[in-house]
């Protein structure tokens, strides 16, 4: 039931959400719902929703530098600009304006010499089946893939030349890895839902892609280079409310995540 509530929050956190509404979604009393929710997520419903709002705001600040603070305030579900500024500073230690200026400058310095081969490609829609994990450490990613592949082989769901996919369900740029959700997956060809696995659909569209072999923090900087520098220079913008992903052409379950060749795909559209 909590999983359905998390899906509801993910789709509606920009709007006012009361504890009563969430408890009803899970068929619990408000008191019991709060206890179950915190035991599952490590946060109260209010803390969880606030983090998602700040996470979205940080993304807006970095990806859309010309978007004014008031618009970001409203679009991310905050009551007022003062409420947004106070909450944002509590999470990041900076005002929204300072965060935008400082983080962009820092990222540009870090990746000023980054010379990656970035391509644009069209990807058709496809379905995934897999596990959702929390990234308290990177080793959990490979562990999760090992479990998923064993599960798929037992059900004869694994294609001969299968590819592994990963999706960051929360922004690792702002969200601590301990709370960041990551989706380890393989393609689903039968269209079935499995009670013990999560399903996800990547919608068709154009993507900017680049090859990486790095830790999560390094990958974040490389992705920000793609988002902040390459896309506007080439007439594109990041497509909002669309999922990006990374795939592992040949995953080696004996190697750590940081040594795996991956191709990061970010959804783009013409400016």
Q: What pLDDT is attached to residue 55?
A: 82
Q: Check residue 247 and give its pLDDT.
A: 92
pTM: 0.62
Look at residue 46 in the predicted model and tell me its pLDDT: 92
Q: Which two tokens stand for residue 166?
A: 């990963």
Reference 143, options 245, 263, 256; nearest CA is: 256
Identify whether the C-beta of residue 172 lies closer than 8 Å to the C-beta of residue 224.
no
> Using one digit for the tens of pLDDT, what is the confidence trace for 242-257?
899 999 999 999 988 8
Per-residue pLDDT of the chain (271 residues; tens, 9 = 90+): 677 787 788 778 888 889 998 888 888 888 898 998 888 888 899 998 998 899 888 878 876 778 899 999 998 999 999 999 999 999 888 899 988 887 666 555 555 545 457 889 999 999 999 999 988 778 889 999 999 999 999 988 887 778 899 999 887 766 766 778 899 999 988 778 888 899 999 999 999 998 888 878 778 767 877 777 788 888 999 998 889 999 999 999 998 888 899 999 999 999 8
pLDDT tens-digit map of 204-219: 999 999 888 887 877 8
Structure tokens that stand for 105 in this block:
């400058």
Computed on alpha carbons and rounded to an integer, the radius of gyration of the chain in Å comes to: 19
Dihedrals φ, ψ of 156, to 5°? 55, 40
Q: What is the pLDDT of residue 128?
A: 94
The whole-number pLDDT of residue 212 equals: 86
| Confidence at residue 148, expressed as pLDDT on a 0 to 100 scale | 95
Given this model, what pLDDT does residue 115 score? 47
10 Å CB burial of residue 223 (0-12, 13-18, 19+) is buried
Q: How far apart are CA 87 and CA 79, in angstroms?
A: 11
Angle between helices 96-110 and 216-225 (to 10 degrees): 100
The pLDDT, as a whole number, for residue 104 is 61
Compute the distance between CA of residue 62 and CA of residue 221 in angstroms, rounded to an integer.
Answer: 12
């Amino acid at each position: 039931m909590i999983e359905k509530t998390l899906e509801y929050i993910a789709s509606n956190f920009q709007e006012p959400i009361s504890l009563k509404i969430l408890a009803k979604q899970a068929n619990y009393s408000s008191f019991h719902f709060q206890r179950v929710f915190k035991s599952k997520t490590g946060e109260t419903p209010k803390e969880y929703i606030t983090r998602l709002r700040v996470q979205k705001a940080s993304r807006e600040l970095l990806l859309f530098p010309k978007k004014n603070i008031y618009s970001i305030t409203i679009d991310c579900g905050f009551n007022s600009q003062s409420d947004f500024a106070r909450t944002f500073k509590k999470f990041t230690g900076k005002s929204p304006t300072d965060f935008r200026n400082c983080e962009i400058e820092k990222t540009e310095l870090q990746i000023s010499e980054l010379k990656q081969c970035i391509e644009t490609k069209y990807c058709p829609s496809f379905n995934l089946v897999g596990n959702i994990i929390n990234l308290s450490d990177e080793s959990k990613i490979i562990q999760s893939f090992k479990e998923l592949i064993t599960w798929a082989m037992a059900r004869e769901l694994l294609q001969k030349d299968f590819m592994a996919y990963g999706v960051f369900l929360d922004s690792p740029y702002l969200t601590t890895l301990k709370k960041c959700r990551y989706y380890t997956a393989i393609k689903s060809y039968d269209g079935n839902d499995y009670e013990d696995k999560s399903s996800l659909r990547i919608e068709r569209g154009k993507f900017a892609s680049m090859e990486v072999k790095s830790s999560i923090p390094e990958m974040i900087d490389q992705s920000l280079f793609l988002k902040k520098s390459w896309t506007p220079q080439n007439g594109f913008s990041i497509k909002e409310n669309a999922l990006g992903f990374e795939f592992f052409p040949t995953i080696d379950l004996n190697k750590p995540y940081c040594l795996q060749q991956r191709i990061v795909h970010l959804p783009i559209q013409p400016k």
